């Protein structure tokens, strides 16, 4: 499928604001793919589809978790944690995506994971720093990613976890695993 077809398919499934965010993620992911020698088409596809499940019905998503034998710990966390893994399911079963790297980038874009691929890192960071994101420190992350992708991933993960702790939210185990993996690698 071409970009315009993907965009036409996702547009009716989300509010305008989320669609604009998605375009921002797409442009940022393609730009990072150029910088880091990643496949631009894969970055584009993963970015366009990454939030496809964000507004899907929770009960339906939990049924997918059950039927597809996804991580049972996903149950009860709501759309914030379900939409990555279920988004990958939709990308595969509805859009016919077979590239595991693209599917994993969508699957793990919220939490990260141990041993992320270059494409996974690109989508993870692009999601956080796309032009429509406005939070304290976002400009520093944008500069950092031009110099070092791994350090940018690490900074993004630490930013998200610090925010979750500050706002007294539970942290999903994969997010912690990802953080620990990054800290082990840090020099």
Cβ proximity to ligand DGI, 33 vs 156, nearer residue: 156
Residue 58 within binding range of ligand DGI, rule CB under 6 A: no
Q: At what angle do helices 100-107 and 118-129 cross, to 10 degrees?
A: 40
Q: Tell me how far apart the alpha carbons of residues 85 and 104 are, in angstroms, rounded to a whole number.
A: 8
Please work out the total of residues on this chain that contact ligand DGI, with binding judged by CB under 6 A.
14
Distance CA 183, CA 94 (A): 37
Binder of residue 35, out of Fe ion, ligand DGI, none (CB less than 5 to 8 A by kind):
none
Q: Which residue has the tokens 């979750």?
A: 164
Of positions 56, 103, 108, 109, contacts ligand DGI by CB under 6 A: 109
Binding mask 122-141 for ligand DGI (x = CB under 6 A): -----x--------------
Helix axis angle, 149-166 relative to 138-147, nearest 10°? Answer: 160
Residue pair 102/4 in contact by the 8 Å Cβ criterion: no
What residue ranges bind Fe ion (CB under 5 A)?
Answer: 51, 127
**Among ligand DGI, Fe ion, none, partner that 165 touches (CB below 5 to 8 angstroms by kind):** none
Three-state DSSP state, 33: helix
Q: Does 107 bind ligand DGI (CB under 6 A)?
A: no
Q: Which two tokens stand for residue 57?
A: 């019905």
Return the number of the residue (104 or 175) whose C-beta is nearest ligand DGI. Answer: 175
- Please, which residue, 92 or 126, has the CB nearer to Fe ion? 126
- Token representation of residue 144: 């950092």
Residue 164 within binding range of ligand DGI, rule CB under 6 A: yes
| Short-list 136, 110, 133, 142, CA closest to 123 | 110
Interacting residue ranges for ligand DGI, rule: CB under 6 A: 51, 54, 80, 109-111, 127, 160, 164, 169-172, 175
């Amino acid at each position: 499928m071409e970009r315009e077809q993907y965009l036409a398919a996702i547009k009716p499934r989300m509010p305008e604001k989320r669609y604009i965010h998605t375009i921002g993620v797409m442009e940022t992911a393609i730009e990072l793919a150029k910088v880091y020698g990643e496949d631009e088409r894969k970055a584009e596809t993963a970015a366009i589809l990454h939030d496809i499940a964000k507004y899907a019905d929770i009960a339906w998503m939990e049924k997918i978790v059950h039927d597809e034998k996804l991580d049972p710990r996903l149950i009860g966390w709501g759309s914030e944690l379900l939409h990555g893994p279920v988004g990958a399911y939709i990308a595969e079963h509805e859009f016919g995506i077979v590239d595991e790297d693209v599917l994993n980038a969508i699957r793990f874009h919220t939490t990260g994971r141990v041993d992320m691929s270059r494409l996974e890192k690109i989508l993870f960071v692009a999601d956080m720093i796309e032009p429509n994101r406005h939070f304290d420190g976002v400009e520093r992350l944008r500069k950092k990613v031009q110099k070092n992708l791994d350090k940018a991933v690490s900074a993004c993960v630490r930013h998200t976890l610090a925010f979750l702790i500050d706002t007294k939210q539970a942290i999903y185990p994969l997010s912690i695993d990802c953080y620990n993996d990054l800290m082990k690698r840090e020099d």
